Chain A
């Protein structure tokens, strides 16, 4: 009814009202556009504040690191302590490169099978054990990494009398990697649609076959991404290996030998009194960054190929 009455009002009034509405909406629009500009500017400032240190870091890394890593001796030689006569004789970091590879290899061998299996179990089971395992692994994911080193030191080095070794170091790294692998595997397995599990069961497959032949292949992209993330994290860790690997000055792949590691070499070289050793730090850092970069890049490429193949 009220609509009818408004329609009957003289046309002039309607025009006036429309004009007024327009001026108000113009004002409102201008205010909104201004507010929007301010917000965009603030976002841009925040972005540059974040980006500046990142680019500075990369600049430093390449500027100081590249000259170091361009010497082949850097990869093939063992480290040397400079003397007053040869202050620039730093040798290379072959032991640390091998050490880091060895540590991540053994740590992966320990952590991947257990982590993936526990992840599958957590995703497929609702038992009390699963719930408590989940809480434990989430807590472990947030635990300070030096704790893993301390644990490996007292348990592997001392209690098991294994001594300073690659094994002790990779044990510490494996404990560090486990929660990452467990959590990402659980998420990946949970993402597999239930209809696939039922299809397997309906064909008379036993539950473990369903997990291994249907669920695991369908979840493998997510699982592998999680594994790579875990390895990337472990490669860069200093604290867990600091106390246990012994910093060996030899190139060795044996699990019971003491080994060096790239992050640890950074730490040790950085506090050296020799400027040449301190310069070398940037080369080591560059190698480490390239390692991690290549790992995550290959994981991404692999995952996207796998996705396309479906």
Chain B
């Protein structure tokens, strides 16, 4: 990463002395609930996602982590019968009712999926700049620069710079996932949503991506869904714990700093889960 950028980042990190311990919110969730055909999948989610921090969503299967995450970039829009209620604010703008188009929202809130899904018909380069292309960027100089910067940020540049024209499917699973991260970063998003980004990867590829996230949060706010509690403990600063209620709908049990969630949670169920007593 270039030094100028790093310097900027450092001032950013050093600055919040006058701000309260929690920085400004990149996203705010207020009483968010998602339902499909009238059946609630997740509800009662109220918490702030702080800028330049990694927020993890943890909880057992069926607790609505992914459902909640997909509400944050309106990916439920095309699902028939899906309804999102409550308020989700991005820099103060309601993403469902505010003055923001869904395309703009998705360029500002990027996403990395559970399984690496690079576009199979495109080369590594084409994949990296695909988001820019979709949004009408045509100048080669801009695309070239974006490809290089984003691939560098995803720690992929060194291994692919000599084979940018090769089909993305030739990469290993871990590399493909980092290419997907690069693809999202090329849009220079404010928030990056990650839906169990390492669950399909081997331990070494997982470690690489985890290491990457610590770098990434200097420039983007990361929200990550994970099944892996060790991972949540290792990489996240804040943690939202969700659990399936009696009516099989997920709900937010507790939100706090990761340290508190794992060491000193308020709700006994959180402790039970983080200690591995269920789930």
Contact = CB atoms under 8 A, between A and B. Distances in A.
A204 B74 CA distance: 11
Interface residues of B, number: 30
A309 B167 contact: yes
Interface string B171-189: 0000000001001100100
In this complex, the member of A198, A204, A218 whose beta carbon has the largest number of chain B beta carbons within 10 angstroms is: A204
B64 interface: no
B273 interface: no
Contacts, number: 76
Interface in B149-205: 167, 169, 180, 183-184, 187
A217 B121 contact: yes
Given A195-B113, A198-B113, A310-B169, A203 B121 contact: no
Interface stretch (A90-98, A162-170, A206-214): A206-214
A213 B134 contact: yes
A205 interface: yes
Given A195-B117, A196-B119, A310-B167, A203 B131 contact: yes
A202 to B, nearest CB: 4
A248 interface: no
B134 A204 contact: yes
Contacts of A159: none
Interface in A15-61: none
B208 interface: no
Interface stretch (B7-15, B47-55, B101-109, B247-255): B101-109
Nearest to B110: A202
Given A199-B113, A218-B120, A205 B135 contact: yes
Given A204-B103, A214-B119, A218-B121, A198 B75 contact: yes
Interface residues of A, number: 22
Contact of B187 (A204, A206, A309): A204
A136 interface: no
Contacts of A135: none
Contacts of A193: 117
Contacts of B110: 202-203
Interface in B131-154: 131, 133-135
Nearest to A124: B78
B51 to A, nearest CB: 21
A201 interface: yes
Contact of A202 (B106, B120, B122): B106
A196 to B, nearest CB: 6
A14 B110 CA distance: 72
A19 to B, nearest CB: 55
B20 interface: no
B134 A202 contact: no
Nearest to B183: A203
A9 interface: no
20 contacts: A126-B80, A195-B113, A195-B117, A198-B113, A198-B117, A199-B111, A199-B180, A200-B130, A201-B78, A202-B75, A202-B110, A204-B105, A205-B134, A205-B135, A213-B134, A217-B119, A220-B121, A309-B167, A310-B167, A310-B169
Interface of A: 126, 193, 195-196, 198-207, 209, 213-214, 217-218, 220, 309-310
Closest 8 CB pairs of A and B: A205-B134, A203-B131, A204-B107, A217-B121, A202-B111, A204-B106, A195-B117, A204-B103
Given A204-B104, A218-B119, A310-B121, 13 more contacts: A196-B120, A199-B118, A200-B119, A200-B130, A202-B73, A203-B134, A203-B135, A203-B183, A204-B131, A204-B134, A205-B134, A217-B121, A220-B121
